[in-house]
């Protein structure tokens, strides 16, 4: 059983060590202000990563999330400006995300185009369509109640934190304890076998892409309310951050194995490492190199551990 948690364990240890270093050498890091900033910065990545974990678990990938994010935030802002209530605007953002995700899903599951091709196409198409429609202009003149969802930054942060905890718990429990969750693993592990035990793998794939779209829409809406203008080019590079976090979190890119816990740790590590190094006084020149080294270190620890475990077992069988 141990080996199944080792990736999570090495990540947690790495994060702990990083936090320990920060606690000793950089007091300012744990200030409420910095924590809140870090959280808000990474909140969209975390939400989208939940969906991406499911997508990658089924053996697919979605690189269009950055573009879906941009489209959803613009649409949400436009809806709010047109006088719709906040809740309606949020629903609209989620629906736009759902539609884009469902489009991806249908093309992958039923037209059987590889997901990397489909989502590359929608990534480019959505982004370009948005640029053309907005002419690159930002959406301003938002109603007053739009920012921070009409509350204060403080309450907004607490509310989204709560929401995030609920989302994480729901997806972790759903994946582990619901039949659909197991169907996600089964589909990614062996699609032909999944078909033979009566799992509708196409439906699972469609559902997963749609859900990723909805979560991206939600993340976009929450993120948009942080500012008084919504840029038409938001979410650039989001897909890379999200995929990196999921993969660092131990989800196999080939599908079938991984966990929400791993993803959460992956987001925390990747999201905090940059600022952490600044706080620790690492020169900006070296920051990226350090970042890479720490991530590589965490991953190879894991590889080493599983390699050792495998060999110990096999060495028992000396002839």
Partner 1 sequence: MGTQIEDSKIVLSLADIQKSFAGVRALRGVSFELRAGEVHALIGENGAGKSTLAKVITGDLLPDSGTVEVFGNSIAENSPIVSRQLGIAAIYQQPSLFPDLTVSENIALALETGGGLRRVYWKARNQRAKALLERIGSKLDPWRLARTLSMAEQQIVEIAKALGTDARILLMDEPTAVLTEREAEHLFGLVRRLREDGVAIVYISHRLEEILASADRITVLRDGERIACRSASDVDRPELIQLMVGRSIGSVFPKRTVPIGDVALEVPGAFSVRRGEIFGLAGLVGSGRTELARTLFGLTPSGSTIEVNGRPVRIDSPAQAIREGLGYLPEDRRLHGVVLEMTIAENVSLASLATVSRHGLIDTTAEESLAARYVSDLRIKAPSVNVPVGTLSGGNQQKVALARWLVTTPRVMILDEPTQGVDVGSKAEIHELIVQLAEQGMAILLISSELPELLGMSDRIGVMRGGTLAGILNRDEATQESIMSLAFGHSTGAA
Residue 177 in the binding site for partner 1 (CB under 8 A): yes
- From candidates 61, 130, 194, 298, binder to partner 1 by CB under 8 A: 194
CA 156/CA 151 separation, integer angstroms: 6
In Å, how far from its chain's centre is CA 42? 9
180 is a contact residue toward partner 1 (CB under 8 A): yes
What minimum distance in Å lies between the beta carbon of 61 and partner 1?
Answer: 17
**DSSP three-state, residue 139:** strand
Q: Cβ closer to partner 1: 103 or 191?
A: 191
Q: How many residues bind partner 1 (CB under 8 A)?
A: 32
Minimum distance, C-beta of residue 263 to partner 1, in the bound complex (Å)? 16
Cβ distance to partner 1 smaller for residue 161 or 180 = 180
Alpha-carbon span 170 to 231, nearest angstrom? 31
Q: Is the separation of the CB atoms in 266 and 50 below 8 Å?
A: no
**Identified binder of partner 1 from the candidate list 27, 145, 154, 176, rule CB under 8 A:** 176
Residues 288, 66: Cα–Cα separation, whole Å: 22
Strand partners, 230: 139
The answer to whether 47 touches 215, Cβ cutoff 8 Å, is: yes
d(CA 65, CA 238): 7
Q: What is the dihedral of CA 97, 99, 102, 107, to 10 degrees?
A: -120
Does 189 bind partner 1 (CB under 8 A)? Our answer is: yes
DSSP 230: B
Is residue 202 within the footprint of partner 1 (CB under 8 A)? no
Q: Which of 34, 121, 125, 182 binds partner 1 (CB under 8 A)?
A: 182
Rounded distance between C-alpha atoms, residue 132 and residue 130, angstroms = 5
List 17, 116, 117, 193, residue binding partner 1 (CB under 8 A)? 193
Return the residue of 88, 134, 190, 229 that touches partner 1, per CB under 8 A: 190
Cβ closer to partner 1: 109 or 183? Answer: 183
Tell the residue number behind the tokens 């969802």, with chain if given: 149
**43/172 Cα distance (integer angstroms):** 17
How many other CB atoms are found less than 10 A from the CB of residue 233?
Answer: 14
If binding is defined by CB under 8 A, does position 112 make contact with partner 1?
no
Q: Which is nearer to partner 1, 87 or 319 (CB)?
A: 319
User: Least Å distance between CB 197 and partner 1?
Assistant: 5
CB-nearer residue toward partner 1: 87 or 317: 317
The Cα–Cα gap between 143 and 150 comes to: 9
290-319 residues in contact with partner 1 (CB under 8 A) are: 311, 314-319
- For 113, phi and psi rounded to 5 degrees? -90, 140
Q: Which stretch binds partner 1 (CB under 8 A): 29-37, 41-49, 187-195, 230-238?
A: 187-195
Q: Does residue 133 touch partner 1 according to CB under 8 A?
A: no
In the region spanning residues 228 to 267, those forming contacts with partner 1, defined by CB under 8 A, are 252, 256-257
Give least dist CB 296 to partner 1, A. 24
Give me the least distance between CB of 170 and partner 1, in Å please.
Answer: 13
The pair of structure tokens assigned to 276 is 């952490």
Residues that bind partner 1 (CB under 8 A): 1, 176-183, 185-186, 188-190, 192-199, 252, 256-257, 311, 314-319
């Amino acid at each position: 059983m141990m080996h199944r948690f080792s990736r999570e364990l090495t990540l947690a240890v790495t994060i702990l060590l990083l936090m320990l270093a920060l606690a000793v050498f950089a007091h300012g890091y744990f200030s409420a202000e910095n924590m809140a900033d870090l959280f808000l910065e990474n909140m969209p990545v975390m939400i989208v990563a939940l969906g991406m974990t499911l997508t990658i678990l089924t053996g697919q990938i979605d690189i269009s999330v950055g573009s879906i994010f941009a489209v959803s935030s613009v649409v949400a802002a436009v809806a709010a400006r047109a006088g719709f209530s906040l809740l309606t605007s949020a629903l609209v953002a989620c629906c736009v995300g759902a539609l884009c995700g469902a489009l991806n899903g249908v093309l992958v599951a039923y037209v059987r185009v590889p997901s990397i091709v489909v989502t590359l196409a929608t990534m480019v198409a959505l982004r370009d369509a948005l640029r053309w429609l907005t002419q690159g202009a930002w959406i301003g003149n938002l109603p007053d109640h739009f920012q921070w969802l009409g509350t204060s930054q403080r309450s907004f942060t607490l509310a989204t934190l709560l929401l995030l905890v609920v989302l994480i718990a729901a997806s972790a429990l759903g994946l582990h304890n619901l039949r659909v969750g197991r169907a996600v693993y089964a589909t990614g592990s062996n699609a032909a076998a999944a078909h033979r035990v009566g799992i509708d793998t196409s439906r699972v794939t469609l559902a997963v892409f749609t859900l990723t779209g909805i979560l991206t829409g939600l993340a976009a809406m929450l993120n948009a309310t942080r500012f008084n203008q919504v840029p038409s080019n938001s979410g650039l590079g989001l897909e890379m951050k999200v995929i990196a976090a999921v993969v660092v979190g131990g989800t196999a890119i080939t599908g079938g194995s991984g966990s929400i816990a791993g993803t959460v740790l992956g987001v925390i590590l990747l999201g905090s490492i940059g600022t952490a190094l600044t706080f620790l006084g690492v020169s900006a020149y070296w920051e990226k190199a350090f970042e890479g080294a720490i991530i590589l270190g965490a991953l190879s620890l894991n590889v080493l551990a599983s390699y050792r475990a495998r060999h110990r077992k096999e060495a028992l069988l000396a002839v």
